[in-house]
Amino acid sequence: MDNQTPDSTPPSASSVHSLHLPHLLHEWKKNRKPIVNPNQTYLDSLSPLDKLAAKITSKVGSMGFFFLILIWTILWCGYNIVATEFTSLHLKAFDPFPAFVAYLLISNVIQILLMPLIMVGQEVQGRHSEIRAQSDFEINQKAEKEVEMMLYHQQMQQQMLLELAIKQGMAIDELLARVEKVVGPAPVSSTT
C-alpha cells in the first residue's frame, strides 16, 4: 500500500535538482576553525614571573616538599631538644628548647613568602583550567555541528532513496517492511 495521500504526487526530477545539496567535506573543512591546543595557549600566555610562580606552586604542593619540611623540623627540633635536655652530651643548642625562636622565625618567613606565591600560582593554574574549559566547550560545539551535518546528510540521502523508490513504483509501506526485515524495527527514541 502506498503511503502517499491522494493529493500528493511523486516528486518530479526538477524538484530533486532544486534541493539544496549539502556541502562537500573539503568545503566544510576549509571553513572550520582549527582546534587549538589549550596547553600551548596557556604556556604562550605566561610571563616569566607567572612561570616561576607556577613552578614554585607545583613544587611546594608536592609530597617531596612536605617530607623536606618534616625532616628539617625533626632534625632542627630533635637536635635542640637533645642538646638542651641532655647536657652531659656536651652538645651546644643553637635554638634552645622549648622556645625554638630561630625555628619559628625562619618558618614564619618561609610561610609569609610562600603564601602569596602559592596564591599567584593557583591563579595562574586557574587560568589554565579556564583555557581548557573554553577549549572543551568549543570542541563540543564543533562536535554538535558535525553531528547535525551528518544527520542532515543522512536525511538528504534517505529522502533521495525514498524518491528513487517512488519513481521505481515501489510502495513506501512495502519498502519499509523490507528494510525492517533486514535491520529490525526502528529504535524508540527517548527525549531527555
11-21 pLDDT, tens digit each: 444 444 444 55
* Cα–Cα–Cα angle for 38, 44, 46, rounded to 5 degrees: 105
Residue 82: which pLDDT band, with cuts at 50, 70 and 90? very high
Q: What is residue 168's three-state secondary structure?
A: coil
pLDDT, average across residues 103-130: 90
**Per-domain residue ranges for the chain?**
46-134
Q: Who has greater pLDDT, 126 or 34? A: 126
pLDDT, average across residues 17-39: 68
Return the axis-axis angle of helices 48-60 and 63-85, rounded to nearest 10°: 60
- State residue 192's pLDDT score: 55
For residue 106 the three cell numbers come to: 625562619
Q: What sign has the CA pseudo-torsion 111, 113, 119, 121?
A: negative
Residues shown for the chain: 192
What is the value of pTM for the model shown? 0.54
Rounded mean pLDDT of the chain?
81
Measuring CA to CA, how many Å separate 77 from each of 27, 64, 88, 107, 167?
72, 20, 18, 12, 94
